Amino acid sequence: MKEITATMAGTVLNIFVVAGNTVNPGQEVLMLESMKMEIPIESTTEGVVLEVKVNIGDFVNEGDILIVIE
């Protein structure tokens, strides 16, 4: 299993995938908001989303697991 983690602390603004979706490297999977800036989070690998571990509005810290990919 592979994990997509937060690159910085922020609030989850939008989620673009759900469990079962196929993702490719470089595909935007989630949008964070930090310091009034939108920070796109991209998949670093190809695979199928097993679990989205956050919800819109959640606050995450740098390094927190956001999405698990098979």
Tokens representing 68 are 């698990």
User: Which residues are within 8 A (CB) of 10 and not within 5 positions of it... i.e. 6 or more apart?
Assistant: 32, 33, 34, 35, 39, 59, 60
With a pLDDT cut of 70, the percent of the chain lying above it is: 100
Q: Positive or negative CA dihedral for 7, 8, 13, 19?
A: positive
State the Cα–Cα distance between residues 23 and 49, nearest whole angstrom: 7
pLDDT band at 3 (very low <50, low <70, confident <90, very high): very high
- The partner residues of 34 in beta bridges, in order of sequence, read 37
Task: Tell whether pTM > 0.85.
Answer: yes
